[in-house]
Amino acid sequence: MEQRGDIATRARDGASFELRSGQFSLMVLAIRHLDLLQLQSELSDHVASAPALLRGAPVVLDLNPLSQLADHGLLRELVGRIHQAGLRVIAMAANPGAEAAAHALDLPLLGLDRRRTRVVDAEPAEPVAEEVPAADAEPPKPPGPPGLQPPLVLPGPIRSGQQVYARGRDLIITGVVSAGAEVAADGCVHVYGRLMGKALAGASGDVRARIYCLAFGAEVASIAGNFKVFESAPRDVAGKAVEIHLDEGRLEIRPLKV
């Protein structure tokens, strides 16, 4: 008995693990129909359009209103097709009737706050997604010169759990990007405020893309799939205006004079 007490004390002292809460941004894959060949083809094309952003990304599978399908073998094949397309299913959305399907697939159930989740649509759709209220967005602008794609301009703050992706263009945020938020673009990312979440430039592989912000405090920075994770911002750039770019495959951060 005394020996068991000693073991329990060492466990309570945290010698081998630490259990803590955390915030993670997850995409939701909403399935509209179960034509598996079409789904895999369209999803593969979607992932290939922004591999640095999407390939290998974890997703929550949302089968509403397909959750009550009795054929769990079909659902297992569905998950296999999604994995072959380049995404990784890690959980199921907790819709009515989803419990049996989740059990059959050996996946946990997650409740969704649909106001704060980004959806990777299983049907063809314009993949520029932002979870910012439409009333806050700028009105449409007249088209620019041929061949030039205007930047996506959004006001801040971009709040924790929100994800923004500007496909084929730059992204400009005129405000704060909060911790737990994610902003991404195929071109450059500009944050005219404090950057505290994740910023991904060159999401489709452009190594020339750059990240700019007025006050640096990012959790993650990435250019063309080259990531750097920050427990805390380096002292020489913390809270400062910076430019982030690639130099021979290495992510470099330098202060800007503003």
Q: 139 and 122, same structural domain?
A: no
The CA distance from 220 to 229, in Å, is 5
Residue 93 has φ and ψ, to the nearest 5°, of -70, 140
Last residue of one domain, picked from the residues 80, 102, 127: 127
Q: Which domain range does residue 245 map to?
A: 130-255
Q: 172 and 246, same structural domain?
A: yes
Q: 117 and 104, same structural domain?
A: yes
Q: What is the pLDDT of residue 245?
A: 93
Q: 139 and 198, same structural domain?
A: yes
Q: How many structural domains are present in the chain?
A: 2
Question: Residues 6 or more apart from 224 whose CB is under 8 A from it?
Answer: 52, 201, 202, 203, 205, 206, 207, 209, 246
Q: 222 and 111, same structural domain?
A: no
Closest CA to 96 of 59, 62, 71, 58: 62
CATH code of 111's domain: 3.30.70.260
The answer to whether residues 224 and 246 touch, using CB atoms and an 8 Å cutoff, is yes
Residue matched to tokens 């974890």: 58
pLDDT in tens, the chain (258 residues): 334 444 333 345 555 777 665 556 677 888 877 788 888 888 888 888 777 777 888 888 888 756 555 577 888 888 999 999 999 998 888 777 778 788 888 888 887 654 444 444 444 333 334 334 334 445 555 544 445 588 999 987 898 888 888 888 999 999 999 988 889 999 999 999 999 989 999 988 889 999 999 999 988 888 988 878 887 777 888 889 999 999 887 888 999 876
The CA distance from 69 to 58, in Å, is 23
Burial readout 136-156 (b: 16 or more C-beta within 10 A, e: otherwise): eeeeeeeeeeeeeeebbbbbb
Residue matched to tokens 């290939």: 48
Q: What is the pLDDT of residue 173?
A: 94
